[in-house]
Structure 1
Amino acid sequence: MKDHLVKAIADGVRVYAAVTTNLVNEGIRRHECYPVASAALGRTMTGALLLAANLKNKECITVKFCGDGPLGNVVADATPEGFVRGYVQHPHVDLPLNSKGKLDVGGGIGAGIVSVTRFTGLKDPITGSCEIVTGEIAEDLTSYLYVSEQTPSSVGLGVLVDTDLKAAAAGGFIIQPLPDASDETITKLEENLKKIKPVSTMVHEGLDARGIIAKLLDGFDIEYLTTTDLAFKCQCSKQRIEDMLMTLNKHDLQSLIDDGHAEVCCHFCGEKYQFTKEELIALLHVSEKLNSNK
């Protein structure tokens, strides 16, 4: 099944649902994640895509979990066009299962802060944050939306990691009652949420995003809106890395030249960029010329 996100509305309710198995596997492959890191990264990237679905084109969002657990920072960038990238600071963490027999993502994340930054194209991005509640990602994003954005929501996220360390299924949803939602609607929603299976189970059983929405909004008159293809995609390039290297001072660039080469690895996607001594010398000349013209 292709990765995709579907938007829908019903009586006083807005819902976004996504299937993200392939892009989660791409993140796992690039960062060589162990199972706990795979689940944390997959949930965070899926959550970021769901939050980004509410943005305008050319905007983007960064979701960052800064906890004191062994995984370190878990970060994802997403756009409303359906692109996401992300990384786990320490992807090779191995933890025992939690008391429920599940991957201990909460133990991997630990206590700390979850922040969401929205880049709107204006001078300063907008950042909101709140304390991490459980570290299980979905509950924390639910809390963030309520505390920081005053938006009552229910967030579901799941990554089923198989014995081969790949994601067998991944996906998520955000469901939000709109201001005009009746008490009857909210009660019906709550009953539906109690009945549904974990989102990774639904995806593993073959449900697409529309199928997940149908379960969430059972008994509602659903209007399906748009479908967006999703993919893991990083914005890095050799040109961007060159621009970054030219921001180094002359001493640091000269040190790289003296080493005879440089390798720069993008922490978001793991892509490695090689620079020869000749390329570094050329960058130094350009940097000196630019600085002399200021």
Structure 2
Amino acid sequence: MEDYILRATAAEGAVRAFAAVSRNTVETARQLHNTSPVATAALGRLLTAAAMIGSTLKSDSDLVTLQIKGDGPLQGIIATSDSSSRVKGYAFNPETPFAEKYPGKLDVGSAVGKGTLTVIKDIGLKEPYSGQIELVSGEIAEDLSYYYAKSEQTPSAIGLGVLIETDETVRQAGGFMIQLMPGAPEEVVDKLENKLNSMPYVTDLLDMGKMPEDILEMILGGMDLSVTDKMPMKFYCNCTRERVEKALVSIGKSELEKIINEDQKADVKCHFCSKEYHFDKSQLKNIYNKAIER
């Protein structure tokens, strides 16, 4: 089954909602980066959140980037999505040691530690919009909820989860995001709080065979729920040899000259997808000539 995101409204437009199933996307990231279980869980949560937020972007060229930096062993994670919910990301320390809160529950908060969450939206303005908060728990969903309340004044309930098999592959992954629009009636707020307080974990729902449609119905059923869109979600990296060449040009003539004379080659690895690009001495000289022409 392919990963996808549902977008919906409820309560006569007072609520907008998103729900996602993202197992394949997170498993792809795990395989690319060979992440430990706790790193897979943390990265998977952030990828799922980025894809849901990405689905709100308007233009094909718009991007949202979520970056967490912490003092825990994970060190940090980053995820980027475009408006088509094509995501990429990586963990700073993919080999973070296994950590459990209790049997069967990975301790993502301890792996992340104390730090910051930064949200960057590049939507075609002169400068990208950037907002930052101190982490509340490091569990990611709570941190994003706090970010929306503090930085965008949008009350939000966010649930994210990744369930790992005993062989360390991804068994389930997904999430939801429920947001109140300005002027939402108090009775709608009360109804939502009651339903959300009795919700099982996202991974438990997915493991019971529940799909995004079911999750939205559980939260917003009886509130004029209307699914407006279904979008595919996948791991996608847009790195190319040409982009890497441009990056090499940007490091400057003196640094390139040093690489040519001392190393006589360059091996560049994409952080997001782990693809490797190799440049021999003659190729580096061509890149150096381009740098001179700039």
Normalised to the residue count of structure 2, the TM-score between the two structures is 0.95
Residues 91-138 of structure 1 deviation map (CA, whole Å, 9 limit, x = unaligned): 101133115751110001111111101101122001011110000000
Which of 15, 18, 31 is matched with 2:17 structurally? 15
Instruction: Give yes or no for contact 1:3–1:19 (8 Å, CA) kept in 2.
Output: yes
Following superposition, the deviation at residue 268 of structure 1 comes to 1.4
In 2, the alpha carbon distance for the partners of 1:185 and 1:151 equals: 15
Q: Which residue of 1 aligns with 2:108?
A: 105
Q: Superposition pairs for residues 1-294 of structure 1, below 5 Å? A: 1-11=1-11, 12-57=14-59, 58-99=61-102, 102-258=105-261, 259-288=263-292, 290-291=293-294
Instruction: Give yes or no for contact 2:52–2:85 (8 Å, CA) kept in 1.
Output: no
Identify the range of structure 1 (254-263 vs 133-142) with the bigger mean alpha-carbon deviation: 254-263
> SS of the residue aligned with 2:237?
coil
What are structure 2's unaligned runs of at least 5 residues?
none
In 2, the alpha carbon distance for the partners of 1:254 and 1:195 equals: 62
> SS of the residue aligned with 1:108?
helix
Instruction: Give yes or no for contact 1:111–1:132 (8 Å, CA) kept in 2.
Output: yes
Instruction: Give yes or no for contact 2:44–2:162 (8 Å, CA) kept in 1.
Output: yes
Instruction: Give yes or no for contact 2:99–2:111 (8 Å, CA) kept in 1.
Output: no
In 1, the alpha carbon distance for the partners of 2:279 and 2:208 equals: 47
Following superposition, the deviation at residue 193 of structure 1 comes to 0.9
In 2, the alpha carbon distance for the partners of 1:273 and 1:143 equals: 39
Residues 225-260 of structure 1 deviation map (CA, whole Å, 9 limit, x = unaligned): 011101101121110000011112223212322323
Aligned CA-pair RMSD = 1.4
Identify the range of structure 1 (222-231 vs 199-208) with the bigger mean alpha-carbon deviation: 199-208
> SS of the residue aligned with 1:98?
strand
Instruction: Give yes or no for contact 1:192–1:218 (8 Å, CA) kept in 2.
Output: no
Residues 151-197 of structure 1 deviation map (CA, whole Å, 9 limit, x = unaligned): 10100000001111111010011101222322221111111112222
How many equivalent pairs are there?
Answer: 290
In 2, the alpha carbon distance for the partners of 1:78 and 1:206 equals: 26
Identify the range of structure 1 (253-262 vs 47-56) with the bigger mean alpha-carbon deviation: 253-262
In 2, the alpha carbon distance for the partners of 1:257 and 1:135 equals: 43
Normalised to the residue count of structure 1, the TM-score between the two structures is 0.95
What are structure 1's unaligned runs of at least 5 residues?
none
> SS of the residue aligned with 2:149?
helix
Identify the range of structure 1 (58-67 vs 172-181) with the bigger mean alpha-carbon deviation: 172-181
